[in-house]
Every structure is written in structure tokens, then in C-alpha cells.
Structure 1
Amino acid sequence: MSAGESTRVDCHIKVLNDRVVEYARRAGIDVLVYAPHFKRLPEIRERAAAYSTDAVQVIPAREVFTGSWQDRKHVLAIGLEEPVPDFITLEGAMAAFDRQDAVVLAPHPEFLTVSLTESDIREYRDVIDAIEIFNPKHLPKHNRRARKLASQFELAPFTSSYAHLPRSVGVSHVEFGCSIETEADLVEALQTNERRRVVYDNGRKRWMTTASEIGHLVYENTWEKVDRLLLSGTEPTHPDHIFYEGKFDDIAVY
């Protein structure tokens, strides 16, 4: 990609395989940000590198679950140098991101019970780099509310396919007015408010994506959740896991 080119970025996907990369290529997406649930940063980095191609660059990220299952808030971080676990306080997570000068994004704000609220955004206004103003899981009223929050707090916008299913990739993206080839390039574009355009499909593909992704959301928060909580034991990204060497014990919620 030569200097001065624009770059299309899907700022948040949950699933990554050959089909996802092919869907992205067909849709003209240049960069995918891969942030799966309950995967450690080194594993995410390895998988992102394995699926990056000349046409589609995959950049690793973490969507951290702050708080408890009953009151969890998702925060998306890009550019982390050190792992940050789930199930820590929101204050602790924001401090960890800030120490690493990572990009901090607010995905699906005020959506259900898994998102940053208006008061959270107000409190961490100086840490948050951008707010998601379109998410295909949202109904129109949720996207309108998200746009209002971005305007209210004068925060830059972003969007994503939030793809849990491969065919969702391509429904939305951010077009940056610069070349983005690396994780560092994307971090700089997001932190410097590089010129951008939020693009999304609001037709048949968007509503098909919404229906299928909401169906997946129902599954993810019922049987899969019960299996994870009752049968799977400690998650790899739990702060008590030996991988984190006790560094987050003072801000763990479990």
C-alpha cells in the first residue's frame, strides 16, 4: 500500500478464519481488528499474524470484560504491549491501558448491560479515543444514541462489523485517509484523529446481519455462558490465572 492511500478498517471482529479473510477481501476491507473473547494477548497476536495476507492485514486487540458477569462493561484496547485480564475493575482496566498508551475504544455504548454508560464515558473522557456510532447488533435507536454520545463528548467515531459470524464482515468499516500497514499505524491514526469516514450498509445485508448476530448473541448469553461458568473452570483471561503472576490481584472482582 503506497503512501497517501486510504485504508478501510473493520475495527472489531470476534471470529477469524479463511472465510473471514476472504469476505474482507471481497468487501475491500484492508485491515481487520481481531479481539476475541477470553483469549490471551499472545495467542491473539499469533493467530492474527497467521491469517494476515498481502490483501488483508489482521491486527490483534483485546476487548476486556471489566466488572462481574452481572455488571460487565466491555472496553476495546489496541496497541497493548502487556496482557490485561478480564474481570478487573473498570478503573483498573483504564489505568492499565493508559499506562501502556494503548488506544481505548468504547464499543456498542449503552447497549444492554455490557457497555460503557454515559457516566462512564464522562468519567474516562480523557482516556477514550473513539466511540462506536454504528454496530450491526444495534437497532436504529441504539445507533442514534451512540452518535449523540460521540457528539456530546466530542469523541471521534468508529464502526465495526462486530462479527461473531464470518458473513457479517463487510457490513461496515472506517475509511481512514492514510496508509495503515501495521498495528502502530492504526494506533497513530486512532489517537491523532486521522481523517476518517464511517461507512455502513443500511440495506438488506445490514438487517440480515443484525438478525443473525442477535440470534448468536442470545446463544452466547445462554447455553454457552452456562457452560463457561459451570463447566469450564477458570478462564484463561481470569486475573487469578498463573499467567498474570498476581499482578492484578488488587483490582480483580472475583
Structure 2
Amino acid sequence: MTESDVVRVDMHVKVLDERVVRRAKERGLDALVYAPHFTRLPAIEATAERYSDEELAVIPAREVFTGDWRNRQHVLALGLDEPVPDFITLEGAMAEFRRQDAAVLVPHPGFLNVSLGESSIRQYRDTIDAVETYNPKLTRRGNRRARTVAVRQNLSPFASSYAHLPTTVGEAWTALNGDAVGDDVTAASIVAALKAGADRRIDHRSGLTHRRSRIAEQAHLVWENTWGKIDRVFLSGTEPTHPRHIAYDGAFDDIAAY
């Protein structure tokens, strides 16, 4: 694939504003997958639509936290038609993704206690469409391990900046075959290409700037996971994406982890 034949997608970002859009365009991206933490799908969709234009498609997605806080396995779903909460069983989440015919991606596999391990990936490999093989937050060893898992399980790779900071957007991307996506880059065309296993290339920036971005994201990860923030955000039952929140009207009570 040549550069003119690909659609460049940063497959997972947590931030979205005018600065993020400007940076994405400067770095030659055609699309961003926007999946902020603990935000319900309708809000994500509204924000994605607000920042999409003819130059950059913003794809709404959900990184669902399955399981409980001590063993939360993250799964990234694109193409959802209905909201799916966090803190439900992995089995229940996968069943819901299949029902909605979503594209199912595994972000940062094997990372700490927030990821699917290879045994879970093997168990659900018929539902999973791709495994992340490059993430700036991971060490070189972690990214090598992720590539090995994807190869062993015969699953397509993807890369993302996993940007929690605006400056990280576009540090890594997935270059999808343009013919598989089509002329109109939309959520539907990206989801279809991922589910079809479209040809792709995994790319990322390099050099000192990239290294600084990786260090900044790793430092942000430490801050994000302090116990003080956990106490403020998690497990009260009132979070917007808690399965027992009134917004879900009890639909997920039978598979809720809390």
C-alpha cells in the first residue's frame, strides 16, 4: 500500500477538542476513534459529530471496563447502536457486542490488571476483530508481547496513540487499505473494514519527540490511577456508565460486577 492508498486512523483517543482536531489534521490523519472513560454512548456520539468534518472523521466508541475494579479487562467496541455500561462481566459484554454486530478490539493486551490476557483473547477470538500491537504507554517489551499474542491467535493488529493528552494524538496510527474503507470515511466504513480484516500497516512516530510523548503519557497513567482519584470516581453506583445507573433501567443488573 502506498501513502495515497491508505486511510490513516488513530484507533483510540481519550481527548477531543479543537486542539486535538488541529493536531490530527497536521499529522495527516483521516480519522480518530474517540472513546473517553465513563461517558455514555449518546454523549460520545454527540461530541464526535460536533468535531467531525470533511477532513477528519471522528468515530464514537466505548472502551468498556469489564469485571470489577481489581480485575477490569478493557474491551474497545466500535459501531454500537445501544449503550453498554462498564463493570459488567466479560462474557456479558462480549455477548452484547455480538448482538449489536460491533467491531471488537483489544487495547493494550496483557497490561497490568486492566487488559485481556491471552487466555481471554483465545476464548473470545471469534468475536475479537483486532489486537493492539503498538501503544505508546507500553514498554518495548509490552508491545513485542502484544505482537506475539496477535500472531499466535491469528488476529489482525492495530495501533493507537491511546492519547489522554492532546499532544499525543497522532503519535501512532493504523493505515487501513483505502479500497476497504471506500471514498467516504465514516464510522460505518471503518467498522466494516475492521470486521472484514482489511489489509493494514501499523505506524508510529519516532525520535525524541515521540519518546517525550510516551514518557508524558506514562506519567499521566500514574496520576490517573492514584487511590484519591479512584475514591472520587469509582464504585459509588452513580457513575454515568455504572450498570446499576438509572439510565440503564436495570437492563444489565444480571451481569453487573457490583
Q: TM-score range by the shorter chain?
A: over 0.9
Aligned AA (1:243): A
Q: What SS does structure 1 have at the residue aligned with 2:70?
A: coil
Contact 2:80/2:102 (CA < 8 Å) preserved in 1?
A: yes
Partner of 2:255: 251
Measure the CA separation in 2 of the matches of 1:10 and 1:74: 18
Q: CA deviation at 1:204?
A: 1.6
Partner of 1:158: 158
Stretch deviating more after TM superposition (133-142 or 220-229): 220-229
Alpha-carbon contact 2:71-2:113 (below 8 Å) kept: yes
What does residue 84 of structure 2 align with? 84
Aligned length: 250
1:226 Cα shift?
A: 2.4
In structure 2, what is the Cα distance between the partners aligned to 1:176 and 1:196? 4
CA RMSD of aligned residues (A): 1.3
Whether the 8 Å CA contact 2:105–2:129 is kept in 1: the answer is yes
1:228 aligns with 2:233: yes
User: Quick one: distance in 1 between partners of 2:18 and 2:122?
Assistant: 39
- Does the 8 Å CA contact 1:108/1:133 hold for their aligned counterparts? yes
Question: Does the 8 A contact of 2:237 with 2:245 survive in 1?
Answer: no
Aligned partner of residue 81 in structure 1, secondary structure: coil
Unaligned runs of 5+ in 2: none
Conserved? CA contact 1:164–1:213, under 8 Å: yes
Shift of the alpha carbon at 1:229?
3.3
Q: Determine the structure 1 residue equivalent to 2:241.
A: 237
Distance 1:142 1:202 in 2: 17
Structure 2 CA distance for aligned equivalents of residues 146 and 229 of structure 1: 28
Tell me the residue number matched to 1:101: 101
Q: 3-state DSSP class of the match of 1:175?
A: strand
Q: Which deviates further from its counterpart, 155-164 or 171-180? A: 171-180
Question: Are 1:185 and 2:189 an aligned pair?
Answer: yes
Structure-1 separation of matches of 2:189 and 2:44: 18
User: Are positions 1:14 and 2:14 aligned together?
Assistant: yes
Aligned to 1:25: 25
Give the drift of 1:5.
Answer: 4.3
Instruction: State the Cα distance separating 1:233 from its structure 2 match.
Output: 5.8
Q: 1:128-182 CA deviation, whole Å, 9 max, x = no partner? A: 0000000000000000000000000000000000000000011111111113511
Aligned-residue offset at 1:124? 0.4
What is the CA–CA distance in structure 2 between the aligned matches of 1:202 and 1:69, rounded to whole Å? 34
Query: Which residue identity lines up with residue 233 of structure 2 in the other structure?
Result: R
Kindly report structure 1 stretches of 4+ aligned residues shifted beyond 6 Å: none
Q: Deviations over 1:70-111 (max 9, x none)?
A: 110100000000110000000000000011110000000001
Once residues 163 and 246 of structure 2 are traced to their aligned partners in structure 1, the CA distance between those partners, rounded to angstroms, is: 30
Contact 1:171 1:205 survives alignment (8 Å): no
Q: Residue type of the partner of 2:229? A: E
Deviates more, 1:173-182 or 1:134-143: 173-182
User: In structure 2, what is the equivalent of residue 136 of structure 1?
Assistant: 136
Contact kept, 8 Å, 2:29 with 2:56, in 1: the verdict is yes
Q: Percent identity?
A: 56
Amino acid at match of 2:165: L
Q: Are 2:77 and 2:102, in contact at CA under 8 Å, matched by a contact in 1?
A: yes
Does residue 44 of structure 2 align to residue 44 of structure 1? yes
Give me the whole-angstrom Cα distance separating, in 1, the residues matched to 2:234 and 2:84: 20
Find the counterpart in structure 1 of residue 222 from structure 2: 218
Aligned AA (2:234): L
SS of equivalent residue, structure 1 residue 186: helix
- Cα distance in 2 for residues equivalent to 1:246 and 1:71: 23
Task: Report the Cα distance in structure 1 between the residues aligned to 2:172 and 2:238, rounded to whole angstroms.
Answer: 34
1:208-231 Cα deviation digits (max 9, x unpaired): 11110011111111132222138x
